[in-house]
C-alpha cells in the first residue's frame, strides 16, 4: 500500500501548473469518439480515471493515440461504436461510469460495465432510474443500483426529467442518451451544476436549447464534426495549492492556466469571503474554449464562514475536503450544510474528513449534511489513512504542511486517479 509522508513547511512559494481538468478530459474522449474526423485534445489529464474512459472507447473500436498529454482521436461518427469483447471497466471513476451509462444505453449492442471495489459501492440508481424511463434496459445488483451492470439493446425515447439531486454526471448521462433517443430529451436542473457537457456540445456544433433551468436536445442528432479541444488546468487540483498558499505563513503561489468556468469556482468565492488573498488574472481564450485564468494566492488570516446555499454546493462539490482543512485554520466556527452528497463520493467525505482531521487535533464535528468546524486549531502530525480517496489524501497532505511534526498518510495510491504528479509539485513549492 502506498503512503505519503509530509513534513511541516515554513512557507509555500513558486509557480505551479496543475494537470488538465478531469471532467473536461473525460468529455473530450466521449464526444471526440462520437464525432466524425480527427479530434485533437491538448493537455489531456493522463490520470487513472481518464485513462479508464479512454480504454472504454478503445474497447469499442475507437482509435485513440496518446502522446504525453496530447490525444488524437479518430472518430467515425455517432453510430460507429463496436461491441466490446469484454466487460467495460470504469476503474475508480464515478464520472466515467455514470456518464457512459447514458451513452451505452443508446447503442445497438449489449454491454457490461463494472468498476473497482470503491466504485462498486457507489449509487448508480440516479442514472439507471431516468435511463430506464427513456426505455433503457439495465440490470444488476440491488435492483440495478450498483455495478456491475448489464445494458441491453433498446430504442430510447426522449423524456423530461427534473434532477432530484444536483448532479452534472446525471445531467450529462441523460444528455448523451438524448443524442441517440427519439424526440426531445429535457433535463431540468433546479440547481446549476458544471456545464462542461453543454459547452462541449456547443463547441462540436451539437444543437441543444437552454431555457431557464431546462436543457433540451432533439434526437437522434445529426452527425457532427471533430474539433480541437484545449483542456484547462483543473481547478479542483489547483484548490489544494490555493489552500496551501492561504494557510501557510509567508506564502505566495501562482497557479497557471486554471479553468475558471463559473460553475466550478465556488471554492474561490468562499475562500475570498473568508478573507483569502486570491487574485484572478483572466486570460484570452479562443472561440468555444473554456475560460482560463492565472490565480495568485498569498498567506491570509482566514475567518470562519457558513456555507449552506444550495447554489454554491455543486460549484465546489469536489473541494469540500480541502475546504474543511482551510476551516480548521480560520478564526471562528465554520458551518457547512446541505452537502449530503459528499457521503457518496469516492468515500463518505463528511465522515472521513471529520475522523482524520480530528485525529490531527482539529475541532470538527460531522453532521447529517456537513460539518461544524471550530478554528483556529494547531494541528499535530500523526498517521492517518485516506480510506482510498484521492481528495482526502491530498487534503490531509495540505493539512500536514501546517502541523507540528511529520504526518504519514496511508493508502495514497488513488491520488493517481486525478492528480498523478501531486507529490512532486507539493515538494517543489514546499519551503522548509
Which residue's Cβ lies closest to ligand S3P?
Answer: 23
Of the candidate residues 11, 23, 107, 395, the single one contacting ligand S3P (CB under 6 A) = 23
> Smaller CB distance to ligand S3P: residue 230 or 390?
390
> Cβ closer to ligand S3P: 331 or 340?
340
* Shortest distance in whole angstroms from residue 346 CB to ligand S3P: 8
Question: Looking at 31-39, 162-170, 183-191, 227-235, which segment touches ligand S3P (CB under 6 A)?
Answer: 162-170
- Return the residues of window 224-283 that contact ligand S3P according to CB under 6 A: none
Q: Which is nearer to ligand S3P, 194 or 216 (CB)?
A: 194
Site for ligand S3P in 94-133 (CB under 6 A): 95
Stretch that binds ligand S3P, among 144-152, 164-172, 291-299, 322-330 (CB under 6 A): 164-172
- 259 near 235, Cβ under 8 Å? yes
CB of 23 to ligand S3P, least distance (A): 3
The whole-angstrom separation of Cα 271 and Cα 152 is 46
The residues in 299-328 that bind ligand S3P, with binding defined as CB under 6 A, are: 317-318
Catalytic residue flag (residue 213): no
Instruction: Using the rule CB under 6 A, give the single segment among 55-63, 165-173, 238-246, 403-411 that binds ligand S3P.
Output: 165-173
What is the grid cell recorded at 20?
488538465
Rounded to a whole number of angstroms, the minimum distance from the CB of residue 91 to ligand S3P is 14
The one catalytic residue in 49, 318, 389, 411 is 318
**Strands 111-114 and 149-152, sheet pairing:** antiparallel
Q: Examine residue 167 and tell whether it contacts ligand S3P (CB under 6 A).
A: yes
Site residue total, ligand S3P (CB under 6 A): 10
Taking the complex as a whole, how short is the minimal distance between the CB of residue 274 and ligand S3P, in angstroms?
A: 22
Least Cβ distance, residue 341 to ligand S3P (angstroms): 6
Residue ranges in 168-197 that form contacts with ligand S3P under rule CB under 6 A = 168-169, 172, 194
Q: How many of the other CB atoms lie within 10 Å of CB of 65? A: 10
What is the CA angle 230-232-5, rounded to 5? Answer: 135
Q: How far is the CB of 5 from ligand S3P (least distance, A)?
A: 27
Residue with smaller CB distance to ligand S3P, 289 or 340: 340
Comparison of 95 and 416: residue with beta carbon closer to ligand S3P: 95
Cβ proximity of 337 and 308 under 8 Å: yes
- Whichever of 12 and 317 has its CB closer to ligand S3P, that residue is 317
CB-based burial of residue 355 (10 Å sphere; 0-12 exposed, 13-18 middle, 19+ buried)?
middle
Side-by-side strand order, sheet with 214-219: 160-162, 183-188, 214-219, 209-211
Q: Give the x-and-dash track for 333-352 against ligand S3P (CB under 6 A).
A: --------x-----------
Residues 76-95 within binding reach of ligand S3P (CB under 6 A): 95
Closest approach of Cβ 95 to ligand S3P, in Å? 4
Phi-psi region of 338 (alpha: psi -120 to 50; beta: other; left: phi over 0): left
Query: What are the residues binding ligand S3P (CB under 6 A)?
Result: 23, 95, 167-169, 172, 194, 317-318, 341
Give catalytic residue positions.
Answer: 318
Amino acid at each position: 500500500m502506498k503512503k505519503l509522508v509530509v513534513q511541516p513547511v515554513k512557507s509555500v512559494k513558486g509557480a505551479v501548473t496543475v494537470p488538465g481538468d478531469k471532467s473536461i478530459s473525460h468529455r473530450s474522449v466521449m464526444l471526440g469518439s462520437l464525432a466524425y474526423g480527427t479530434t485533437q485534445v491538448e493537455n489531456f489529464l493522463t490520470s487513472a480515471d481518464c485513462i479508464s474512459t479512454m480504454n472504454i472507447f478503445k474497447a469499442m473500436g475507437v482509435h485513440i493515440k496518446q502522446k504525453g498529454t496530447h490525444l488524437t482521436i479518430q472518430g467515425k461518427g455517432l453510430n460507429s461504436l463496436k461491441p466490446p469483447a469484454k466487460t467495460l471497466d470504469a476503474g475508480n471513476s464515478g464520472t466515467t461510469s455514470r456518464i457512459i451509462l447514458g451513452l451505452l444505453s443508446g447503442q445497438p449492442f449489449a454491454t457490461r460495465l463494472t468498476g473497482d471495489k470503491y466504485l462498486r459501492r457507489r449509487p448508480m440508481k440516479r442514472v439507471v432510474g431516468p435511463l430506464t424511463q427513456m426505455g433503457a434496459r439495465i440490470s444488476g445488483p440491488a435492483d440495478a443500483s450498483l455495478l456491475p451492470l448489464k445494458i441491453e439493446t433498446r430504442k430510447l425515447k426522449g423524456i423530461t426529467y427534473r434532477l432530484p439531486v444536483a448532479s452534472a454526471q446525471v445531467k450529462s448521462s441523460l444528455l448523451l442518451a438524448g443524442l441517440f433517443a427519439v424526440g426531445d430529451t429535457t433535463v431540468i436542473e433546479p440547481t446549476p451544476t458544471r456545464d462542461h457537457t453543454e459547452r462541449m456540445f456547443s463547441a462540436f456544433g451539437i444543437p441543444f436549447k437552454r431555457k431557464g433551468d431546462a436543457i433540451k436536445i432533439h434526437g437522434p442528432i445529426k452527425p457532427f464534426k471533430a474539433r480541437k479541444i484545449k483542456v484547462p488546468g483543473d481547478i479542483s487540483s489547483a484548490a489544494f495549492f490555493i489552500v496551501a498558499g492561504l494557510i501557510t505563513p509567508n506564502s505566495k503561489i501562482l497557479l497557471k492556466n486554471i479553468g475558471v468556468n463559473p460553475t466550478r469556482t465556488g471554492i474561490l468565492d468562499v475562500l475570498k469571503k473568508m478573507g483569502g488573498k486570491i487574485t484572478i488574472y483572466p486570460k484570452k481564450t479562443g472561440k468555444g474554449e473554456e475560460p482560463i485564468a492565472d490565480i495568485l494566492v498569498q498567506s491570509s488570516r482566514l475567518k470562519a464562514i457558513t456555507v449552506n446555499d444550495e447554489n454554491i454546493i455543486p460549484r465546489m462539490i469536489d473541494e469540500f475536503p480541502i475546504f474543511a482543512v482551510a476551516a480548521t485554520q480560520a478564526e471562528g466556527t465554520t458551518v457547512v450544510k446541505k452537502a449530503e452528497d459528499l457521503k457518496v463520493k469516492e468515500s463518505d467525505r463528511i465522515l472521513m474528513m471529520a475522523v482524520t482531521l480530528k485525529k490531527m487535533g482539529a475541532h470538527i464535528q460531522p453532521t447529517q449534511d456537513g460539518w461544524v468546524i471550530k478554528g483556529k486549531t494547531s494541528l499535530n502530525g500523526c498517521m492517518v489513512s485516506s480510506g482510498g480517496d484521492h481528495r482526502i489524501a491530498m487534503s490531509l497532505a495540505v493539512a500536514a504542511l501546517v502541523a507540528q511534526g511529520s504526518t504519514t498518510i496511508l493508502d495514497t495510491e488513488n491520488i493517481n486517479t486525478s492528480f498523478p504528479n501531486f507529490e512532486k509539485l507539493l515538494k517543489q513549492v514546499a519551503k522548509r
